[in-house]
Structure 1
């Protein structure tokens, strides 16, 4: 294993771009309609987006403290390990690598192709998989060769994602109809406001997932005491404002009964803008490609840092801990992760499988937020950022993650439990093997030193 480590080369803009770029994905194109349908009325739909964003803030505050206490690559793996939950820390990384991170790269690459294929039919079938692979390879080369250039690209692609949304919002606000906000569908007239609001907020939760991506690369940001808290909290506020304003624009453009039935709310809303009806599909498809490309780039950049951190601790394949002597990137970890993702591109649809394994990570996330309680008891715990009202924020973080876990469990109960069993049955033997080997190496090193 190389003795070199990853250097702190990234600044605050790259951190913010990774957080924002990871979170804003293709889901927002359909979630506006889903949230409206769940909330039942225009005003409750808008309130759901605001509350959904506010719920994430306690989680970001907890992560801001943990990440500045241990500004190392690895995110939840590091915090669970420091809290004394080393087997769970390993399972966090094990499940991420084999069941979540590379599959997510595959799914996003194929999603880009799905927006291209209607306009270029050649890219249906195997040609589409080849195109998806080519996109992944190009982004991999970028992030393999330079952390700085990868961060710069992430800033540019994130700006490219936000600008079109800002234009849709601005034009939508100009042409919106205020009367659309006063409509109360018959189906919502007898519904409880609280139940409708809870349903609406639940529908926003996945759209707000992704800001914590910066914690995977905490060891590569300059001035982590300032950069990490600002990226975590700043991205949450930016995304909450963007989503809320987009919901206002979409609701103002479309009749509400059309909105709640829409499976592509943003695209359908654009057709109500004068002069855009004929080109709405092409415009939104182009926007979707840019949006997903930004998320894909971010994932290829930050995800390999988790296995790199585990390998440096002796809890993963040793080769994953190597740092390229010239490019100063976790080159082997990047190649293995992306290589696995490319293999998955040519296999069957992975979207449903990804959902099953998500329950495992959500449950471990609950423990990750709880780890602050145990980390605060450590002698080496000296965070550069302190969470205000930390006990309350921790409790809210746990409840928010538990809410998502419950929603996932209701969606696929036995599949989620089966996925958890698979992770434990395959992961725990691997953990004990590597842990025993790591302790033996430490003992030998200590013996030689003595």
Structure 2
């Protein structure tokens, strides 16, 4: 019975913004400030890199907003590639996302929360830490399993909470910064400004990913024609402003040479604020726990929607398409994805290995942005939001994803290519199996109708 129950539109614009912003702002920002600084070479180049990196995301969200309002249904890139006319590519997108990206991200974040809890609670390592990580995942799973509205409300609260510590850092940083720190220029081996900005933009790209997660749940938002563009474009603007202000604050507080070498730039920068020298690390640990739990909650909420949509098309395991009649949530898709993530928590080496699949997903994202070319030719393509100068915006979007793909390829070229081959080698047989099965059902139905 649950296979024929559809998910309802229960979420509003605040929940959509919370999912987009909450997914994007994760643990990476706690270390990326020094990574961007090291790549850019100067505070000026670093700040410009954060700004341009964020501006490159806005065209991507504009393209996604047009696609999402044209097809306001769950599934994100799977739906857009399918509508563009390539079911095999659409399937491979969902196949790779499930096995190599979405559940592993739950595992990684659960373990990250535990690592920060260990700052306050000794003995959080090893098996004990993994059990605590599993417990956190299960608690959030129960929340999102039982109610999408309660899950959305929690997401709004936790996203608001995760912005508070950053706002404190920004305000205090702007008050106590030393302008001279922002004017630092190395006397030897200086990186040319243009080259530094380019390198810095590449280093910011990972921190800006996650806003399009809201498209996984396009079919569950009220007034999608309004909600989706606000969430996608609004989140890109909010995160860009937030990251830029954080970088200005940190670069102004801390000597740049020390910042580049720092593994914990925010915690180290807080030591330059009166009254924070002894509590900086504790403050960052608390902030990180809140931030990561927000991202973890968001992932558990939105990720199962893609496989649910695929299963509804009979292009994934049938059980994933079940909808709980009482709670009106994709129950089995949630439970099975979380179960896979829990298995990965106990196999952390495998989680690291799955990171090599990032190249595949970056390439798939290029195809998703490019799908707008083919979708615009379809008779059912009637978006309520139209991306301005869409060809240019699409080209910028593709460029941004290509930049990330290139960075991933340089990091692990052989591993990335092998993972791409593995996705194709396992995904295409699975696709043809389900697709042929669907054709047989259609043919049998046609024969029965004639009889």
Q: TM-score range by the shorter chain?
A: over 0.9
Partner Cα separation in structure 1 for residue 73 and residue 118 of structure 2: 41
Partner Cα separation in structure 2 for residue 380 and residue 215 of structure 1: 19
Partner of 2:315: 315
**8 A contact 1:40–1:187 mirrored in 2:** no
Partner of 1:32: 33
Partner Cα separation in structure 2 for residue 272 and residue 405 of structure 1: 37
**1:439 offset after TM fit, Å?**
1.7
The correspondence of residues 148-297 of structure 1 with structure 2, limited to 5 A, is 148-187=149-188, 189=190, 191-297=191-297
**1:351 offset after TM fit, Å?**
4.9
1:23 aligns with 2:24: yes
Partner Cα separation in structure 1 for residue 414 and residue 110 of structure 2: 29
**1:118 offset after TM fit, Å?**
2.9
The correspondence of residues 21-170 of structure 1 with structure 2, limited to 5 A, is 21-170=22-171
Q: CA 1:287–1:77 in 2, change beyond 3 Å: closer, same or farther?
A: same
Secondary structure of 1:385 counterpart? coil
**8 A contact 1:107–1:350 mirrored in 2:** no
**1:188 offset after TM fit, Å?**
5.2
Partner Cα separation in structure 2 for residue 389 and residue 58 of structure 1: 10
**1:400 offset after TM fit, Å?**
0.9
Secondary structure of 1:48 counterpart? helix
Secondary structure of 2:386 counterpart? coil
Partner of 2:394: 394
Secondary structure of 2:348 counterpart? coil
Partner Cα separation in structure 1 for residue 136 and residue 201 of structure 2: 34
Secondary structure of 2:381 counterpart? coil
1:356 aligns with 2:384: no
Partner of 1:404: 404
Per-residue CA shift, 1:329-372, capped at 9, x if unaligned?
A: 00000000000100110113345323200100111111111100
Partner Cα separation in structure 1 for residue 188 and residue 257 of structure 2: 10
**1:187 offset after TM fit, Å?**
4.5
**8 A contact 1:104–1:354 mirrored in 2:** no
Q: Which moved more, 1:436-445 or 1:146-155?
A: 436-445
**1:444 offset after TM fit, Å?**
2.6
Q: Which moved more, 1:178-187 or 1:387-396?
A: 178-187
Partner of 1:427: 427
**8 A contact 2:119–2:285 mirrored in 1:** no
**1:201 offset after TM fit, Å?**
0.6
Secondary structure of 2:4 counterpart? coil
**8 A contact 2:320–2:332 mirrored in 1:** yes
Per-residue CA shift, 1:272-305, capped at 9, x if unaligned?
A: 1111111111110010000000000000000000
**8 A contact 1:27–1:207 mirrored in 2:** yes
**1:116 offset after TM fit, Å?**
1.0
Per-residue CA shift, 1:297-322, capped at 9, x if unaligned?
A: 00000000000000000100111001
Partner Cα separation in structure 1 for residue 65 and residue 166 of structure 2: 28
**1:164 offset after TM fit, Å?**
1.1
TM-score for both structures, normalised by structure 1:
0.98
**1:140 offset after TM fit, Å?**
0.0
Q: Which moved more, 1:82-91 or 1:289-298?
A: 82-91
Partner Cα separation in structure 2 for residue 18 and residue 68 of structure 1: 17
Secondary structure of 1:121 counterpart? coil
Q: Which moved more, 1:349-358 or 1:241-250?
A: 349-358
Structure 1: gaps (5+ residues): none
Partner Cα separation in structure 2 for residue 160 and residue 193 of structure 1: 36
What root-mean-square deviation, in Å, do the aligned CA atoms of Structure 1 and Structure 2 show? 1.0
1:367 aligns with 2:367: yes
Partner Cα separation in structure 1 for residue 179 and residue 141 of structure 2: 46
TM-score for both structures, normalised by structure 2:
0.98
Partner Cα separation in structure 2 for residue 428 and residue 52 of structure 1: 35
**8 A contact 2:344–2:351 mirrored in 1:** no
Partner Cα separation in structure 1 for residue 63 and residue 99 of structure 2: 27
Partner Cα separation in structure 2 for residue 313 and residue 187 of structure 1: 60
**8 A contact 2:100–2:355 mirrored in 1:** no
Partner Cα separation in structure 2 for residue 261 and residue 390 of structure 1: 41
What is the count of residue pairs matched by the alignment? 449
Partner of 1:299: 299
Partner Cα separation in structure 2 for residue 397 and residue 54 of structure 1: 11
Partner Cα separation in structure 1 for residue 134 and residue 180 of structure 2: 47
